[in-house]
Chains A and B, each alone.
Chain A
Amino acid sequence: MANIMIRRDNKGNYQFYLPKRDLEDTIVSMEFDTAEKWGGEIKLNNGGTYYIEPQVAPARLPYSVRARRLDAAE
């Protein structure tokens, strides 16, 4: 489990940031992306996958959340 931060970049894409490893990347897909259900499995541009417990979408981004690493790149 690691703390991650999700923000929107200036193109409107979700950006993933893992402070512990200074890893910044674009999120290519998120399993659930609606107001009521948000999160699930997220895929990064670098090939890594993380899992966020599905939850109500945050009112405001950037948003810090606990995530589980399913498959990290490298």
Chain B
Amino acid sequence: MTALTREETQALIQEVLEVYPEKAKKDREKHLAVNDQSIEQSKKCITSNRKSLPGVMTIRGCAYAGSKGVVWGPIKDMIHISHGPVGCGQYSRAGRRNYYVGTTGVNTFGTMNFTSDFQEKDIVFGGDKKLAKLIGEIETLFPLNKGISVQSECPIGLIGDDIEAVSKKAAKEINKPVVPVRCEGFRGVSQSLGHHIANDAIRDWVLSNRDGKEFPSTPYDVTIIGDYNIGGDAWATRTILEDMGLRVIAQWSGDGTIAEMENTPKAKLNLLHCYRSMNYISRHMEEKYGIPYMEYNFFGPTKIEASIREIAAFFDDTIKANAEKVIAKYKPIMQGIIDKYKPRLQGKRVMLYVGGLRPRHIIGAYEDLGMEVVGTGYEFGHGDDYDRTIKEMGNATLLYDDVTGFEFEEFVKKVKPDLVGSGIKEKFIFQKMGIPFRQMHSWDYSGPYHGYDGFAIFARDMDMTLNNPCWSKMTAPWLKKEEPVAEKAAA
């Protein structure tokens, strides 16, 4: 199927909207758009960061998911208490594959679940005592933890527990940071507000802990911010930066520690990968400590090269020379990968629907493989994300914000992409429809996809999925034979 024209795409949106009741249709209309590169501001064509419509199937998470699952969870040497009923923590436990180095249960706690397991009596009489007791127990059982964070679940906000007071008292007793995070799930419209709340908690409780303390710094200190080390992403990124001669003093928050976070204000430059979830803290550090931040993109060799040069521009000539060396070193390797996979993937069309950064960042990597992204959208992106997306996407491609299960299915049926990249909730629907699918949240249990090392794996995975022989076997053999007969009967 050839690319849709602007009118066809517009007609497709209208067709999909047709099934909604009048009010819902009016609301959803604002979230669907045809991309137009000439538009400077996304708000002229698409509305984002609004409450999902009741009754539709949204793919969003909650503020707790944004704070515990994304920002705080990967900090490996802290214990993150899911404060409230047991389910929120247990069902989200270790699902995000934030890799880390350490001995789980001894000095790192990334895949473990700690919860205060609220019961009826805790709701009635308050859970502050239980929390204090829990922190004491943690300290006895896991003495090598470097700090504790209290991630509130919905009931905490509803019954008005004072977790700040408990945390302050406990911090004095155990002489470690205890951070209360007010990330009750009902706050905000999606996990995006959870990121903001988590960033604010880091700002208020962690970031200034080592102000004024000595730190042996070099002029080449940088930090990786907003890389959650999914399948080892942050490590692939770190390799490149270290090859350039930079010293990475902190990783936020994949494979990160609280000590690294406390040392971040000593950096010379903050490198920001996931803009949506960590821009808040980067802005704060720019204002308070005068550390500039830079958004970079380590998906696909073209974008990596551009980002490496942009990073090097902040430093002196040695780094700039190193940057060129790194680019030259990887160029033939990357060319080899492109030569191998591009003929197999050329011209394939992709539809994406991911969280807050990948819908635009990963476009370059697909283009390097000769593939085309024909539709993209964010679960919880804001206006500034769409501002940045419009330029990356081709004209007359589809943009969909907080797409509903129904809309996404209909779009895929009509646009007929060769590959869909989204999350686990969408995976089996599309696979059963016979469309190759990759999970773009967890890299489908593969990875890393960041950096030069990641691109090799990315290219292999895309080829493996798209050119899998199973897609030609979607109809059972006995059904295939019947097809011409059925057609004859119909005729």
Contact = CB atoms under 8 A, between A and B. Distances in A.
B290 to A, nearest CB: 7
What DSSP secondary structure best describes chain B's contact surface? helix
A62 B43 contact: no
Given A45-B41, A46-B41, A46-B43, A22 B49 contact: yes
A19 B382 CA distance: 12
A5 B290 CA distance: 14
A8 to B, nearest CB: 10
Interface string A13-54: 000010100111000000000000000000001100000000
A60 B41 contact: no
A17 B290 CA distance: 17
Contacts of A74: 43
Interface string A42-74: 000110000000000000101110000000011
B287 interface: yes
B382 A5 contact: no
A46 B39 CA distance: 12
A17 B382 CA distance: 13
A74 B283 CA distance: 25
A22 B43 CA distance: 13
Interface residues of B, number: 14
Given A45-B41, A46-B41, A46-B43, A19 B287 contact: no
**Which of B49, B192, B280, B283 has the most chain A CB atoms closer than 10 A to its own CB?**
B283
Contacts of B280: 19
Contacts of A62: 283, 286-287
A28 to B, nearest CB: 12
B137 interface: no
Interface in B172-203: 192, 196
B283 A5 contact: yes
Interface in B283-327: 283, 286-287, 290
Query: Is the interface on chain A under 10, 10 to 19, 20 to 34, or 35 or more residues?
Result: 10 to 19
B310 to A, nearest CB: 9
A7 B286 contact: yes
B465 to A, nearest CB: 35
Nearest to B49: A22
Contact of A22 (B196, B287, B290): B196
Contact of B287 (A24, A46, A64): A64
Contacts of B382: 22
Interface in B265-297: 280, 283, 286-287, 290
Contacts of B287: 5, 7, 62-64
B283 A17 contact: yes
B476 to A, nearest CB: 50
A23 B290 CA distance: 21
Nearest to B285: A62
B286 A24 contact: no
A13 B283 CA distance: 16
A60 B286 CA distance: 10
A22 B195 CA distance: 12
B27 interface: no
Contacts of B204: none
Contacts of A63: 287
B200 to A, nearest CB: 9
Nearest to B290: A60
A17 B384 CA distance: 11
Nearest to A60: B290
A70 B237 CA distance: 44
Nearest 5 Cβ contacts at the A-B interface: A62-B287, A24-B384, A22-B382, A62-B286, A64-B287
14 contacts: A5-B283, A7-B286, A17-B283, A19-B196, A22-B49, A22-B192, A23-B383, A24-B383, A24-B384, A45-B41, A62-B287, A64-B287, A73-B43, A74-B43
Interface of B: 40-41, 43, 49, 192, 196, 280, 283, 286-287, 290, 382-384
Interface of A: 5, 7, 17, 19, 22-24, 45-46, 60, 62-64, 73-74
Given A5-B283, A24-B383, A73-B43, 11 more contacts: A7-B286, A19-B280, A22-B196, A22-B382, A22-B384, A23-B383, A24-B384, A45-B41, A62-B283, A62-B286, A64-B287
